[in-house]
Amino acid sequence: MDDLGLTPNALAVLRHRYLRKDAEGRVIETPEELFRRVAAAVALAEERFRPQERTRWEAAFYEAMAGRWFLPNSPTLMNAGTAIGQLSACFVLPVPDSIPGIFGAVAEMAIIHQTGGGTGFSFSRLRPAGDVVAETGGVASGPVSFMRVFDVATDVIKQGGRRRGANMGVLAVEHPDIETFVTVKDDRTALTNFNLSVAVSDAFMEAIERGTEFPLVNPRTGERVRTVDARELWELICQAAWRNGDPGLLFIDEVNRHNPTPEAGRIEATNPCGEQPLLPYESCNLGSINLARLAEGGAFDWQRLDELVQLAVRFLDDVIEVNRFPLPAIAEMTKANRKIGLGVMGFADALIELGIPYDSDEALSFAERLMERIAQGAREASALLARERGPFPNFERSVWKARGLPPLRNATVTTVAPTGTISIIAGTSSGIEPLFALAYHRTVLDGQDLPEVNQLFVRALRREGLDPEAVLKRVEATGSVRNVAEVPEHIRRLFPVALDLEPAWHVRMQAAFQRHTDNAVSKTVNLPSNASVEAVREVFRLAYELGCKGITVFRYGCRGEQVLELGRVPSFVAGERAVAHAEFTGECRICST
């Protein structure tokens, strides 16, 4: 197999999930053929606008992917040029307050999962448990009970036949069933196919600050049902997140302050990993630039970044053109706003190449400069496409028109995704996460174990004349080198892992990227197993104060099954490509992407 210099772990992921197979399950595609398939399928969009340039863009798309400079989201890699043809990763579906509406949403979810997409839902419109059902004279069972229906259906449908279905469940903090929602995962068997987020309003955060009562409102009637002590509800949320890693927070008013098309609707939910707020029936396709490739040799290639941004925006807009949408309503809404989400991966590896510690003011400054450059370039690329192809249909009633911007092809252009799986293919660290550990095991592919050792660390040790094998034996229990005295201080400082960092550094980094990101940033604040509930409270509060759109914490070991584990460090002495150096993403605990 022509492996394009991919790591063994990248090849394992590609064989299992991405490369085409025959009826007997035998792989019938090489990585080169995969990237050529995707490039050809996406570049077909050029035929509609500048057919004479299709071949040029097809070649450019291929080189960007095969060189691991840029990769699109998983459904594009899986489905482009195939009979499925569904290329988007992120969807939000409405859940109306009726039996036909609820079960219609379940059916729509199943169709999306079958084609490889993930779904987000706001259950905030459903009447609370115990409320009247006029049609039958009975009482409602509430949103959490109906979420179980979605969860069971997800168990049955495997995403695209190759990955687990993934859902985001959102409930407004003022919903009368909020306490039940917040604590539902105390039952470790409940809603295992859901990430959960509480849609927290500014009014609730202000009530916490003042120490006042907060009203819970029946969404069916709009009437106040009861009041709760805001600080007691806040404490319940923080304790549940400490115990279970769920719920996260979705700062819903901050999200809607940045809604580019408020006349088209209010945003109530996100995709499963939280980085993509969407209107009902919207979808979005994502892609990520590999920053580690741009930092090789210790100097960052800003010119190459600019070129990749232009290419990636065109690629993602082309995806909308050739996409085979799973539902007519999704096609209509997506084409009306044409949202795309360009982000990054390999940030931690890039910092290491540049000699910048993750937990430093220099890293924060670099993050802001980087994302501002990407955002500016992506907006310029979208404006260029608008001149070539026309603006997105809702542009005239968007905030961009009101602010005097030139016509844009896309309502949004930037999103920072977790990149859990595509970063393995790229052989780099995930999203904007710090390294999870310098050596660890990643459980993916329906239980397959992928050993990981960070090769930048191995090379740094060798440059210092140290024996990597001996050092890794010292770090295997914790994954960290911070307390290994024989390793020089500058290396210990340059290679922090997630649990070395004070939680505030995680939040500050997320906020630095969020300042220049249209959509949102997927980031997990990793906490040690002995972290306190107070640490969770501080993280949540800081995220709100710094303008993050959402926040998730995960205390190591708080759930029995997790994607990444410390210990059992593999041997790497067979060569630097014997194991991959993809790192922790805070990736989706549901679908591992």
pLDDT tens, position by position, for the chain (593 residues)? 567 999 999 999 999 999 999 999 999 999 999 999 999 999 999 999 999 999 999 999 999 999 999 999 999 999 999 999 999 999 999 999 999 999 999 999 999 999 989 999 999 999 999 998 877 778 999 999 999 999 999 998 875 566 678 999 999 999 999 999 999 999 999 999 999 999 999 999 999 999 999 999 999 999 999 999 999 999 999 999 999 999 999 999 999 999 999 999 999 999 999 999 999 999 999 999 999 999 999 999 999 999 999 999 999 999 999 999 999 999 999 999 999 999 999 999 999 999 999 999 999 999 999 999 999 999 999 999 999 999 999 999 999 999 999 999 999 999 999 998 999 999 999 999 999 889 877 666 556 677 788 999 999 999 999 999 999 988 877 789 999 999 999 999 999 999 999 999 999 999 999 999 999 999 999 999 999 999 999 999 999 999 999 999 999 888 765 555 555 433 332 222 222 222 233 455 555 45
Bridge-based pairing state of the strands 248-251 and 194-200: parallel
* Alpha-carbon span 167 to 586, nearest angstrom: 16
* Alpha-carbon span 367 to 443, nearest angstrom: 29
Last residue of a domain, one of 216, 239, 270: 270
Q: Are residues 94 and 212 in the same domain?
A: yes
Collapsing DSSP states into helix, strand and coil, what is residue 242?
Answer: helix
Active-site residue list: 271, 273, 275
Q: Are residues 125 and 103 in the same domain?
A: yes
Q: Are residues 180 and 259 in the same domain?
A: yes
CB of 450 within 8 A of CB of 316?
no
Q: Are residues 221 and 293 in the same domain?
A: no
CB of 441 within 8 A of CB of 579?
no
How high is the pLDDT of residue 588? 58
| Sole residue written with tokens 């949540």 | 540
How high is the pLDDT of residue 233? 99
Q: Are residues 133 and 74 in the same domain?
A: no
| Structure token pair of residue 557 | 């070991």
| Structure token pair of residue 5 | 């210099």
Between CA 195 and CA 200, with CA 196 as vertex, the angle to 5 degrees is 145
Instruction: Indicate which CATH number applies to the domain containing 239.
Output: 3.20.70.20
How big is the chain, counted in residues?
593
Collapsing DSSP states into helix, strand and coil, what is residue 487?
Answer: coil
How high is the pLDDT of residue 121? 99
How high is the pLDDT of residue 373? 99
Q: Are residues 475 and 393 in the same domain?
A: no
Cβ count near 222 (within 10 Å): 7
In a domain, 425, yes or no: no
How high is the pLDDT of residue 146? 98
Q: Are residues 306 and 451 in the same domain?
A: no
CB of 13 within 8 A of CB of 444?
yes
How high is the pLDDT of residue 577? 22
What backbone phi and psi angles, to 5 degrees, belong to 346?
75, 20
Domain count along the chain: 3
Q: Are residues 266 and 314 in the same domain?
A: no
How high is the pLDDT of residue 86? 97
In a domain, 278, yes or no: no
Q: Are residues 289 and 264 in the same domain?
A: no
| Sole residue written with tokens 């109906």 | 146
Range of the domain at 481: 435-565
Which one-letter amino acid corresponds to residue 374?
I
How high is the pLDDT of residue 132? 85
Q: Are residues 244 and 115 in the same domain?
A: yes
pTM of the predicted model as reported, rounded to 2 decimal places: 0.94
How high is the pLDDT of residue 446? 59
In a domain, 280, yes or no: no
CB of 95 within 8 A of CB of 102?
yes
Angle of the 361-389 helix axis to the 347-354 helix axis, nearest 10: 120
Collapsing DSSP states into helix, strand and coil, what is residue 161?
Answer: coil
| Structure token pair of residue 246 | 């769920």
In a domain, 423, yes or no: no
* Alpha-carbon span 547 to 481, nearest angstrom: 32
How high is the pLDDT of residue 576? 26
In a domain, 421, yes or no: no
For 187, residues 6+ apart whose C-beta sits below 8 A from its C-beta are none
Pairs from 529-538 (Cβ < 8 Å, separation ≥ 24): 529/555, 529/556, 529/557, 529/558, 531/242, 531/503, 531/555, 532/242, 533/235, 533/238, 533/239, 533/242, 535/503, 536/238, 536/239, 536/241, 536/242, 537/234, 537/235, 537/238, 538/503, 538/504
For 4, 9, 421, the CA distances from 578, given in Å and listed in that order, are: 15, 9, 18
CB of 378 within 8 A of CB of 414?
yes
How high is the pLDDT of residue 260? 99
Q: Are residues 38 and 181 in the same domain?
A: no
For 91, 264, 275, the CA distances from 286, given in Å and listed in that order, are: 12, 22, 10
For 228, residues 6+ apart whose C-beta sits below 8 A from its C-beta are 213, 214, 216
Q: Are residues 368 and 247 in the same domain?
A: no
